[in-house]
Amino acid sequence: MTATCEVIARGAKLYVFSNCELDAGVKMACLPITMLEQDSDVESVGRAVTDALRSFRTNVPFPDDFNKAANDVLKDTGFKNWRAFSKGAQRLDVQSMGTEILVTPTVADARGGYATLDAKSIKVRVDPASLGRAVLDALQRCEFKSRLD
């Protein structure tokens, strides 16, 4: 099993979302969410990501109303939906790979969509300081385009 989570930087905050894999094989952001200041120390960032990876769940029943379930995850962030939350945000995919973690930046478009930038991924060992540093470095590798091809 490969655990995943997402880190989203928006404004002065970092939001670390645990992921869950639904019965249909679809992954979505799930609770818990950890919110940090972007200038938090690297160990705090790394611990938040490690905790989110540990919270990864599989075989979660597909919700009757997927959009409502997805938006309910945002209730403590102050945003009502992913479209509003994603505007101007940077997103990282984080994947546990045994003794290493892969942190992958993304390119965002004006509509709130993201595509991974696999060539810019950072692989680190599983320790909070290294992981936190990789997350902050990977955020600098994120890009924005007016439209994704």
CATH number at residue 138: 3.40.1590.10
- State the average pLDDT over residues 56-81: 92
DSSP per residue, 69-110: HHHHTTGGGT-SSHHHHHTT-EEEEEEEETTEEEEEEEEEET
Query: What's the whole-number mean pLDDT along residues 131-139?
Result: 97
8 A C-beta contact, residue 110 and residue 117? no
Could you say which DSSP state residue 25 is in?
S
Structural domain boundaries, residue 113: 4-145
Q: How many domains does the chain have?
A: 1
**CA nearest 31: which of 71, 62, 67, 2?**
71
What pLDDT score was predicted for residue 4?
95
Answering whether pTM is above 0.95, one says no
Report whether pLDDT(115) > 80.
yes
DSSP-assigned beta bridge partners for residue 116: 106
CB-CB contact of 90 with 38 (8 Å):
no
More confident residue, 76 or 24: 76
Give the C-alpha distances (Å, rounded to integers) separating 98 from 3, 104, 123, 142: 9, 16, 11, 25
